[in-house]
Amino acid sequence: MREPERDLGRLQDILQAAENIIAFTGGRLPEELAADKLRYFAVVKNVEIIGEAAYMLSLEFKEKHNSVPWNDIIRMRHVLVHGYATILPELLWHTALKDVPVLKRQIEGIIREFSRWQG
């Protein structure tokens, strides 16, 4: 169920998963990620968490914060979960190194905005 009062918790889940991905991939080459199965699947799982949390955000919230590519994030989760056999390590690497840090900054800003309204 998509409840607006739970949006902050979902944002915190997205932020934690983004931080995990950055920690798991930092200083590594794409080949290293593909070769390290444990690290690879840890990144996959955290991208899935981001996608699921994004999916569960209220529609009103996503409309208000439409600068975040929510639909792309959700589609990526669907590919990882349902199209697991077709995952391209290069795409996962690009997502981890390029898209996730941008998303992290966006989510941090939105959480700060929440804090101003709450405090």
Task: Report the catalytic residues.
Answer: 77, 82
Look up residue 78 and give its two tokens.
Answer: 């669907």
Cβ–Cβ under 8 Å, residues 50 and 18: yes
Distance CA 7, CA 26 (A): 28
Distance CA 107, CA 66 (A): 12
Rg, Å, the chain Cα set: 14
